[in-house]
Amino acid sequence: MNDIVDPQLKALHHALLSIYNRETESVRAKPTSVVSVNATNFLAGQAIAFADAALFLMEDVRHPLDVPVALLRTCLEAQARANHITAVIGTEREDRAGELVRLMEIGHEYYEKLAIQSYKDTDESQYLARDRAYLPAMKRLLGKTDTSDLKALKKQLDPLNQRWTYGRVVERDKFGDPKSLNRSEAQRLQPALNLSYMQCCAFVHADPVSLRHKQLLTKIGVTYTLVLAEIVAVLCFFIALGKESDQDCVFQRKRTPVPIQSGHSFQLISDSCRSEATLWG
């Protein structure tokens, strides 16, 4: 059992956090209307934030790996969506990013109106006596929101959700297709990361199979996958910025050894090979 977080991987996480923050500050100082930049900035931020939280938890030896592994799923989803956006160029890239933004906007509007409609439909007798005094004011407030378009919003939302599921954006059904695997630098990593994603889902959904999966987990393996997801997400952000050749970004990519698949878990390549391996080599 690994009692500490690998210091090299931890240092790489902090380096990624630094260059992500640097570019994010630049974007905030000069806001852009380029949708792919804003979308990948959000996705890279998700990968960075959830990885940071997972690493924080793993540094406390009293905590099991269950929660960090559950957090890892968000990192994997973020890098997959970012890669899906930057796997294409030009108008198609901006269209994909715009679709993700619409998913956010429609999803929020649908949730908000669904919640309001549920209040409208609630039988007043179901409220506690202490809350009934507020009902008239609540009804006046909620009555101002038109929820008649709930079905129309759901009709728009469902196909958008389907196009942005994890399996769809990693092109899971094309893992054996060389053309798909070469659509981007990071795509070749997706089949291996997909196995990690499937493992993570058990911890997110309180699936009892997580009890068996837990026996396969190592702290160094989880840390490695977290950092790998961060690198992909940050790289996609840099690609959207047109800065994929930025020396800091290139340096961090070269610091990361290639993952090799072993059974149902991920192991680091041997020390003898690590110095010669790069993420994209």
Per-residue pLDDT of the chain (281 residues; tens, 9 = 90+): 446 788 999 999 999 999 999 999 999 999 999 999 999 999 999 999 999 999 999 998 888 999 999 999 999 999 999 999 999 999 999 999 999 999 999 999 999 999 889 888 877 777 788 877 887 787 777 888 899 999 999 999 999 999 999 999 999 999 999 999 999 989 999 999 999 999 999 999 999 999 999 888 999 999 999 999 999 999 999 999 998 776 666 555 555 554 433 333 333 322 322 332 344 44
β-bridge mates for residue 266, sequence order: 261
Boundaries of every domain in the chain: 7-97+166-274
Task: Return phi, psi of residue 56, to 5°.
Answer: -60, -45
Separation between Cα atoms, residue 17 and residue 48, nearest integer Å: 7
The pLDDT value recorded for residue 247 is 63
**For 55-123, what is the HEC assignment?**
HHHHCCCCCCCHHHHHHHHHHHHHHHHHHHHHCCCHHHHHHHHHHHHHHHHHHHHHHHHHHHHHHHHCC
Q: How far is CA 280 from CA 20, 91, 222, in A?
A: 20, 26, 20
The pLDDT value recorded for residue 253 is 57
The pLDDT value recorded for residue 246 is 65
Count CB-CB contacts under 10 A for residue 211: 10
Q: First vs last Cα of the chain: how many Å apart?
A: 30
Task: Tell me which residue of 103, 95, 86 sits closest to 41, measured CA to CA.
Answer: 86
Q: How far is CA 71 from CA 202, 223, 231, in A?
A: 12, 11, 16
Residue 8 makes CB contacts below 8 A (sequence gap 6+) with 255
Task: Tell me which residue of 204, 188, 208, 209 sits closest to 261, measured CA to CA.
Answer: 188
Q: What is the largest CA-CA distance in the chain?
A: 72
Q: What does the block give as tokens for 69?
A: 């592994």
Residue type, 167: G
The pLDDT value recorded for residue 261 is 36
225 and 265 Cβ atoms separated by less than 8 Å: no
The pLDDT value recorded for residue 268 is 32
Which helix (H) or strand (E) covers residue 244, if one does?
none
Separation between Cα atoms, residue 173 and residue 177, nearest integer Å: 9
The pLDDT value recorded for residue 128 is 81
Q: What does the block give as tokens for 85?
A: 């956006």
**Is 0.95 surpassed by the pTM of this model?**
no
The pLDDT value recorded for residue 121 is 82
The pLDDT value recorded for residue 136 is 79
